């Protein structure tokens, strides 16, 4: 059964120093409020996992919370570069950042393998690219039935997973809809999980295409209305595209980023 708790308490229970942690949400339902709480609590040495590092990881990297990033696309969607991510990779500021890099298909399959309790996943991927030369986590495998050579990637097991959803009920059953990304897989791949929600309701009214995570696979639920901003929660808010554009200027130099960071703390 999930425990319903205030955000600060839930974050301190779920995300620990040194964790391999995923904050997932594919453009939609990105758990920004929980990310900011991690910054406030001063978590360190995290291995941050996420398909699209996006602005949320630019913030965590710039705040010095991460030592490694496992990812497949690190940009500000529709805007350009992530400047804090670039500064960490190119200049080691504020701390050096180790990278492990995949394609989206590879990352998605790594989550699926972990959620499925398998050691690895098989896909048609990475063939002819330079990506396998940069990590031991992409290898070829021969199909035992057809002899075809395919690609294997290891399960992406997480210490903790953090996602944002539209609603939970008072027992901690969680409901999310719209673009659901890899959030279900991330929660099922993790030892500990936290779901922040727009609201806690008495009863989860059925929604077409919704993903429901039963209370017994979730550890903590915290109410955080607007907690996905500047991303969005379908049927609750719209993506704040202007903020993503503003982030480019905020993050461009260390001083303006520091000013932003003081506002979070």
Q: Note whether 75 binds another protein by CB under 8 A.
A: yes
Among 102, 164, 167, 192, binds another protein (CB under 8 A): 102
First to last CA, the chain: 31
Q: Note whether 131 binds another protein by CB under 8 A.
A: yes
109, HSE (Cβ side, Cα atoms, 13 Å): 19
**Whole-angstrom distance, CA of residue 257 vs CA of residue 254:** 5
Only one of the segments 85-93, 190-198, 247-255, 257-265 lies at the binding site for another protein (rule: CB under 8 A); that segment is 85-93
Q: Which helix (H) or strand (E) holds 17?
A: none
Among 51, 65, 197, 221, binds another protein (CB under 8 A): 51
Q: Note whether 180 binds another protein by CB under 8 A.
A: yes
71: three-class secondary structure by DSSP: strand
For residue 7, whether the previous peptide bond is cis, meaning omega lies within 30 degrees of 0, is: no
Among 202, 238, 263, 265, binds another protein (CB under 8 A): 238
Number of residues forming the site for another protein (CB under 8 A): 55
Q: Note whether 206 binds another protein by CB under 8 A.
A: no
CB 13 within 8 A of CB 220: yes
The distance of closest approach from Cβ of residue 34 to another protein in the complex, given in angstroms and rounded to an integer, is 19
Q: Note whether 141 binds another protein by CB under 8 A.
A: no
Among 23, 26, 57, 257, binds another protein (CB under 8 A): 26
48: three-class secondary structure by DSSP: strand
Q: Note whether 126 binds another protein by CB under 8 A.
A: yes
20: which strand partners?
47
Crossing angle of helices 254-264/54-62, nearest 10°? 90
Structure tokens that stand for 211 in this block: 């993903």
Q: Which residues bind another protein (CB under 8 A)?
A: 26-28, 51-52, 71-75, 77-79, 81-82, 85-86, 89-90, 101-105, 108-109, 111-112, 123-131, 134, 148-149, 178-182, 184-185, 209, 211, 232, 234, 238-239, 241, 244
């Amino acid at each position: 059964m999930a425990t319903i708790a205030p955000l600060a308490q839930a974050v301190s229970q779920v995300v620990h120093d040194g964790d391999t942690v995923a904050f997932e949400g594919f453009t939609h339902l990105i758990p920004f409020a929980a990310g900011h709480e991690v910054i406030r609590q001063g978590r360190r040495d995290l291995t941050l996992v996420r398909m699209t590092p996006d602005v949320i990881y630019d913030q965590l990297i710039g705040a010095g919370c991460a030592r490694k990033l496992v990812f497949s696309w690190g940009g500000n969607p529709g805007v350009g570069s992530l400047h804090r991510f670039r500064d960490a990779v190119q200049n080691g500021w504020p701390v050096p950042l180790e990278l492990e890099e995949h394609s989206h298909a590879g990352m998605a399959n790594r989550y699926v393998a972990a959620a499925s309790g398998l050691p690895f996943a098989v896909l048609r991927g990475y063939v002819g690219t330079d990506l396998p030369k940069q990590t031991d986590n992409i290898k070829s495998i021969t199909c035992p039935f057809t002899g075809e050579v395919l690609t294997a990637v290891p399960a992406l097991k997480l210490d903790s997973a953090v996602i944002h959803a539209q609603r939970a009920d008072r027992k901690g059953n969680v409901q999310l809809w719209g673009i659901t990304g890899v959030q279900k897989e991330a929660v099922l791949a993790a030892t500990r999980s936290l779901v922040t929600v727009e609201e806690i309701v008495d009863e989860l009214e059925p929604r077409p295409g919704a993903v429901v995570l039963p209370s017994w696979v979730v550890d903590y639920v915290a109410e955080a209305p607007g907690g996905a901003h500047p991303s969005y929660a379908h049927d609750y808010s719209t993506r704040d595209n202007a903020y993503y554009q503003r982030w480019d200027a905020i993050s461009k130099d260390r001083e303006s980023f520091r000013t932003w960071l003081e506002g979070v703390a």
